[in-house]
Structure 1
Amino acid sequence: MSEQTQQAQRECPVARALEVIGDRWVMLIIRDAFDDVRRFNDFHKRLGMAKNILATRLKLLVELGVFVVQPASDGSAYKEYVLTEMGRCVFPIVVGLRQWGERFLFSEGERHSVLVDNELAQPVETLTVRSKSGKVLAPEDCHRHLVGGVPAAHGND
């Protein structure tokens, strides 16, 4: 990979986010945390993944600040993995993946889960990208803009 390509990857928020949460198991752990799963054994039972892989992923998520480890809320000797603000902010990403999957990966009438609003008991509204004024935006309505830092030097200027 060229230095220019590597620099572009380092500057890309999508590439950085995928380094943190792009792993299948990481996303499923976070998904289950949104369903109030907090204990190692409960993650293990629901996900069916090897304990060593689960332990590694949870350790990484704690180190990155997605989870904090706290004493069990029921006063038992167990510990719980609780989402931080950083972790809770992954919610729209999980919802977006869910809605994309619902739309494109199930046949008509095929059994699957949907995310339902607790208050209204209705499926949540489909996520959209909007401008500051509220206009729905498509990919062609947006562009990337580099901010902050000092631009890399080019040649022998």
Structure 2
Amino acid sequence: MQRKSIGNTQCPIARSLDRVGEWWSILILRDCLQGLTRFDEFEKSLGIASNMLTRRLAGLVDSGLLERRQYNDRPPRFEYILTERGRDFEPVLATLLAWGNRHFAPEGPSVIIVNRETGEAADPVVIDRISGRALSDPVFSTAPGPAAEGEIRDRHAHLLHSGRR
């Protein structure tokens, strides 16, 4: 059964989820960020069926997150290299890792992010590049952007008038 595409809405979260919202895709990107590039490496790391892996890799290539490059002629073999768009997903994964450790690891963190120079554990937060303040600060909220149209503007107007944002 084909799932409905949500990528044609104006919502940037929906558009992003349309590209990476399936968990295999996110795990493939995780593996790419850790240096894996080849089909057999992904298959071994993830324990994923080859037909599913083929579909997910094709989707990530179509979405511009990975580039498919041939590295062998006979037989033809390909590797999957992160594009700039794919590399830009790294902070999303770091934030997801920290959130998972905080809320879903009662035994404690099994993977952490460390500073390679000092060995100290990092505590990822999302900050505003301009002010340096954490986006979890109540001073921040979402608002319609310059390209926002009807549904987005209506939703934010409703939230503003209801006192929720």
TM bucket normalised to smaller? 0.7 to 0.9
- Match of 1:121? 119
Instruction: After superposing the two structures, state which structure 1 stretch, 138-147 or 112-121, moved more.
Output: 138-147
Q: What aligned pairs does 1:108-147 form with structure 2 within 5 A after superposition?
A: 109-110=107-108, 112-130=110-128, 132-138=130-136, 140=138, 141-147=140-146
Where does structure 2 lack aligned partners over 5 or more consecutive residues?
Answer: 1-7, 152-165
Q: CA deviation at 1:151?
A: 5.6
Deviations 1:10-32 (A, max 9, x none): 11100110111111000000001
- Match of 2:92? 93
Aligned pairs, how many? 142
Q: For residues 134 and 34 of structure 1, do their structure 2 counterparts lie closer, same or farther at Cα, with a shift above 3 Å needed?
A: same
Q: CA deviation at 1:146?
A: 3.0
Q: CA deviation at 1:103?
A: 0.8
Q: CA deviation at 1:135?
A: 2.4
- Match of 1:35? 34
- Match of 1:60? 59
Q: For residues 131 and 66 of structure 1, do their structure 2 counterparts lie closer, same or farther at Cα, with a shift above 3 Å needed?
A: closer
Q: Is the 8 A contact 2:66 2:86 kept in 1?
A: yes
- Distance (Å, rounded) in 2 between the aligned partners of 1:110 and 1:48: 24
TM-score (norm 1): 0.79
RMSD: 2.6
Q: CA deviation at 1:86?
A: 0.4
Q: Is the 8 A contact 1:116 1:123 kept in 2?
A: yes
Q: Is the 8 A contact 1:68 1:83 kept in 2?
A: yes
Between the two proteins, what is the percent identity of the paired residues? 30
- Match of 2:23? 24
